[in-house]
Structures are given as C-alpha cells and as structure tokens.
A and B are shown apart, each in its own frame.
Chain A
Amino acid sequence: MGTLDITKETKLSGPNEIAIINITGSLDAHTAPQMDEILSELVHNKKNKLLVNFIHLEYISSAGMGLFVGWIDTIRDQGGDIHMIQLKPNVMKVFQILGFDKIFKIFKNEKDAIDAFL
C-alpha cells in the first residue's frame, strides 16, 4: 500500500469551469478514501467537469477503479464527465483489460481533454 497526493487546479470559469485533478502515487484500497472525499466535494459543489491527470500515478487497484466507476454515473447525470489523460502503460493496461477504456474518455493530452468539454 502506497501513498496518494492530490492537487487541484481550475481552468476556465463560469459554466465551462473545469476542475483539474493531479494524482501522484498509488490509488488503492488504502488511499481511495482520500480521492473519494475530493470527488464527493467537487460533485457536491456541482463542479462536474473533471479532468484527471494520471501522469504521476504509478499504480491503481480495483478499489481505485471502483472509485471512478462509482462516481461516473452521478457526474454524467449532472451533465458533467470525467476525462482522463496521460495514463502510464501499466495503468492503461488495467483499464483495457477491464474494458474501462470504453467507459471513460481517455485523451492524449490536456488540450484535447479540455476541448472535448466545450
């Protein structure tokens, strides 16, 4: 079990405001609650255009996957979405085996991910 660091930024403003979440480390059963809190807060504040940057994420477990799966419906119901960028190969592989690359929108870079929101 590792540690997780989460930082947030905002891009654009008003109805187009996008919340960018940078995750570093390991998203597993131990650290999932941290991420859960962040997502919960954002959704509660109707910030549902989320961009998650995976560049520094070394490892994701089924608990971490389950976290995104758990929130995606609520976020989409609110009219938002989760766009993911820069997944490391080992993390991408997990998404592909589970078929989650068909559920979540994965982009090559930040620009594409942001554009897709507009």
Chain B
Amino acid sequence: MNEVKHQKRKSLKTRFIVMVSMLICLILVLVGIVINNQVREQVITQMKKRGEALAKNIAANSMEALLTGDELSLGVYVDKIIEEPSIIYAMILDDHGRVITHSNLKVKKGFQFEDRISLKSVNSEVPLIQDDGYSDEFGDYIDVTMPMKRGDSKIGLVRIGFSQQEIETASTRLRNTIFIIACVGLFGGIAITWVLVSRVIKPLRQLTRGVEIVGSGNLDFRINLSSQDELGQLANSFNTMTGKLKTAQQTLIEQERLKHELQIAQQIQASLLPREFPKVEGADVQAFYRAAKEVGGDYFDFINISPTQIGFVIADVSGKGVPGSLGMVVTRSIFRMQALTGGTAGEVLTRTNELVYQEIKRGIFVTIFYAILDIPLKRLNCASAGHNPPVLFHKEMTSWIKLDGLALGVDKGPIFNKTLKENTIQLTPGDIFLMYTDGVSEAMNLKSEEFGENRLASIVRRAGSLPLAECLKLVQKEIEQFVGNVPQSDDITIVGLKVR
C-alpha cells in the first residue's frame, strides 16, 4: 500500500518538475527564435549598409584612377577589399559592364558577365543591392552595385559580393549563448521547483500519514502541522472531524451497550414469569403483564405450597436494566424457596428480606405483596413489603388492602420486622382480589396526568360482575386508551383472583 502512495507522491513532484521544465524550455525556445531572427535581420541590414558604404567609398576613391586609366591602383583597391573575410568578390567595371579589374585573378580584363544579376547590375544607374541571385551553403550572396558617376554620366561601376558566412558564425555564436542560458535557466528552474514542491509535499505527506493513522482506527491521534496555510487549515479541520468522530463513536458504543443490556434484561425478565395461570378450585386466576421498553423488572408468580394452599405474589424491583433484572432473579429465587418452606405471609417475607438484604446491591430495593390463599376456606393471608395496596372488590364496593411494611433489601431485619403488619381476609363468592404494580397507577397520558388507583378501582367496580378475564381486559383497554401514544415507562402487571 505504501509503495503505491510513494509512487503517487513521486509522480506529483515529477509532474510539477516536468511541466515547469517544459514551460521554461518553451519560453526560452520562443525567445531564442525571436532573438535569433531579429539579430539575423539586423546583421543582414547592417551588412547591406556597410556593403553600400564600402562600395561608395571605393567608387569615390577609384574615380580618379578610372578616369586616368590607372588600372594598377584599381587592382590595389580591389585586393584590399577582398581581405575582408565575408567579401567573396569585388570588381570594377567600365560603363559597358566590362571588367577592368576583378578580385579573382582568373577573370580577365574585358570580360563581360552575362547572368541575370550581372546584367541588372550593369544596367543600374543607382546603387543596387541584390540578394536573390547567387548563394552558397551559408545562404544568399549580397551583391552590391555602386555606379561611378561624373555628373550625370556613368563612367563605370563597383561591384562587391558579400557572403552570409559571417552572419552564420555570429548566429551560431548567439544560438550557443542562448542555449547555455537556457540550460542554466532550466536547471535553475528544476532546482527551485524541486525545493518548492518538496516544501509542499512534506506537509502533504504528514497529512496523508495522519489520515492513515486515524483511518486505521486511532481516533485519539491529532495531526500536527506547523504551517498556517491551507494545508494547516485542512489539518485543523481534519482534527476537529476526528474529535467529533470519536465522540460519535463513544456515543454509539454506549448506545449499543445499553441496547444489549436491555435485551439481556428482557430475556431474563421473560424467563421469570409463569406461562400459565393455575387452576384453583372455586376461583378464577388471571394475570396481565406488559413490559416497558426500559425494563424495570416487575414479576408475579404462583406458588403451589400445598394441596390446600396457593401463594400469589407480585413484586417490583427499583433498579433498571440488568442490575434490576438480576436483583429480581435473586429475590424470586429466595422468595420461592421461603414460600415453599412454609409459614405465614409475614414470616415468609421476613425470612426473604434477611437473605435478600445480603444479596442485592445497595440502593436497589424490591417491593412485594404476598397473599396465601387457603383454597377450601377462601381465606387470604396477606403481607406487604412496601408494595401498592391491592384492590378488594366486595358487594359492588372496592377497598384497599393497606398493610404496613418496608421494602426488601433496605434493612437487615430489626426495622423490617417491626414495620411489617400481616392480615387475613375472608373472601366470599363474587369477590375480586386484584394486585398490581405502580406501572398501572403511574401510567401517564399526554397531559402528564396519572392513571391513578381511583380510576383502577372504579373500573373494577364497573366490571366486577363480569368474568375475571373480561374484567382484566377492560382494565387493560382503559389503560391503553388513557395513555394514548405516550410510550410506556414502567412495566404494567396485574394479578387477579375472583371467587366463584
């Protein structure tokens, strides 16, 4: 993975360097060409001017010699001219175009050139420059014709031919100079680009590395970039984002943990509850249970103590989630054991409290209501450990079975025992005994009103003559209607006993 990144980084640098180099080259080449052409033109112009001036000079100087027929002097002039390297030929002709003297000794006196350029030259009355005739490997010759006049009549002419050899040399020298400058410029450019790009690449590399580290899962890492420019800003923004990611991650982890805990608690909860209602001779038993989303931990149970006794218990644990559920499991086990061991409702609760107090966490307590039904006699022996008073429906009236008692798990024994009051109630046919948890009385509607015990009692009064199952269904329906869309915050548990 690093190899690929390495290549990518290199190519960024290389790309920059190549582009800058190409740009420098392009500029230098263009400049070079332009300069070269300009210079060349200048040189040629200069050359032509010089040629003309020279020819003029010679013409002026050789006038006398020509008039006097002094061929020797003319020859000397021509020889002198030819010494210049770029002058290929020089000649003095008479007014008919016949050679008087020529730099090339092979050309005899009196010779007449008949080529186009020469004809044009001979016939010219004015100074003439022709560069469209002769040429060699260096380019076109510049042929300068300078007529010699005495007054208005032409007495002869001077002709000089320049080669562009010198221009070539000068041009080449210029080209070389430009080339050297170009190379220096190019290398300089590359060097500077290299340094600049490296400067940028370094923080970019740091940034990339930082992103990799964070990407691999280390959300505590912060990229430390010293520059204040755009890269520095990018690093800062990235660090901020990392911080937020970490917070979000922690929140998510916490949420997942809670959700998981909730699921476990619900599973525990489900396993605690009886799956069917007992068949009691001469009585109907029904229960209704609906768990809240945030499991609180209600439970109810039926204990088959003996052929003539059956125990009804309802309980509510104070802690939520898994701690609550565990507290409930512990309580249920201890209670069940004590209930089966025997004794009055009060005695069972007292023994249960002593054991539960040692087992459950400080700050968690359990409210519990226990009623032992003597089946043949229909007598109910009740005791409460801080639980809501159950409803008793008798002869179309309702009353509350209020019994003092401390919740389980708060006190080791002395205060619990002192507080506990048990009672025995005689039930008659038609009576309904209803235990419930505060999920019922504290069920809230949109207006934040509580359902309340009184509302429960009034429903029981209304439905008291109906079969127990229907009565409970009615209670359930009324609670649902009352609450409406407000989410349930606590478990709702109702256990009912109706004597036939």
Contacts and interface: CB of A to CB of B under 8 A. Distances in A.
B362 A69 contact: yes
Given A67-B363, A97-B386, A98-B367, A103 B410 contact: yes
Given A29-B320, A98-B407, A69 B419 contact: no
Nearest to A67: B363
Contact of A103 (B364, B387, B411): B411
Majority DSSP secondary structure for residues of B touching A: loop
A65 B406 contact: no
Interface residues of A, number: 16
A71 B410 CA distance: 11
A71 B364 CA distance: 11
B363 A99 contact: no
A66 B404 contact: no
Given A66-B363, A73-B362, A100 B410 contact: yes
Contact of A99 (B320, B389, B404): B404
B118 interface: no
Interface string B376-391: 0000000001111100
Given A69-B362, A103-B406, A97 B319 contact: no
A70 interface: yes
B407 A99 contact: yes
Contact of A102 (B362, B365, B385, B418): B418
B363 A102 contact: no
B365 A66 contact: yes
B415 interface: yes
Contact of B362 (A65, A70, A98, A100): A70
Interface string A92-104: 0000011110110
A85 B418 CA distance: 24
Query: Chain A binding site: helix, strand, loop or mixed by DSSP?
Result: helix
Contacts of A66: 318-319, 363-365
Nearest to B410: A69
Nearest to B296: A62
A99 B319 contact: no
B161 interface: no
B318 A100 contact: no
Nearest to A71: B363
B454 to A, nearest CB: 13
Given A97-B388, A98-B386, A102-B419, A63 B320 contact: yes
Contacts of B410: 69, 99-100, 103
A70 B363 contact: yes
B405 interface: yes
Interface in B294-344: 316, 318-320
A103 B362 CA distance: 14
A63 B388 CA distance: 17
A81 B364 CA distance: 19
A58 to B, nearest CB: 11
Contact of B406 (A29, A67, A71, A98): A98
A29 to B, nearest CB: 6
Contacts of A62: 316, 318, 365
Most-contacted residue by chain A among B406, B407, B415, B418 (CB, 10 A) = B407
B73 to A, nearest CB: 127
A100 B407 contact: yes
Contacts of A103: 406, 410-411, 415
A102 B318 contact: no
A69 B365 contact: yes
B367 A102 contact: no
A98 B387 CA distance: 6
A109 B297 CA distance: 36
Contacts of B320: 29, 63
A71 B361 CA distance: 12
Nearest to B415: A102
A18 B386 CA distance: 30
Contacts of B411: 103
A65 B415 contact: no
Residue of B364, B367, B385, B386 ringed by the most chain A CB atoms within 10 A: B386
A99 B334 CA distance: 21
A67 B410 CA distance: 11
A69 B388 CA distance: 19
Interface string B348-379: 00000000000000111101000000000000
Interface of B: 316, 318-320, 362-365, 367, 385-389, 404-407, 410-411, 415, 418-419
Query: Which 8 A-B pairs have CB atoms at the shortest separation, nearest pair first?
Result: A70-B363, A99-B406, A62-B318, A98-B386, A66-B363, A66-B318, A70-B362, A99-B386
Given A70-B363, A102-B418, 9 more contacts: A63-B320, A66-B319, A73-B362, A97-B386, A98-B365, A98-B386, A99-B419, A100-B407, A102-B415
Interface of A: 29, 62-63, 65-67, 69-71, 73, 97-100, 102-103
30 contacts: A62-B318, A62-B365, A65-B365, A66-B318, A66-B363, A66-B365, A67-B363, A69-B365, A69-B410, A70-B362, A70-B364, A71-B363, A73-B362, A97-B386, A97-B388, A98-B367, A98-B406, A99-B385, A99-B404, A99-B407, A99-B410, A99-B419, A100-B386, A100-B406, A100-B407, A100-B410, A102-B419, A103-B406, A103-B410, A103-B415
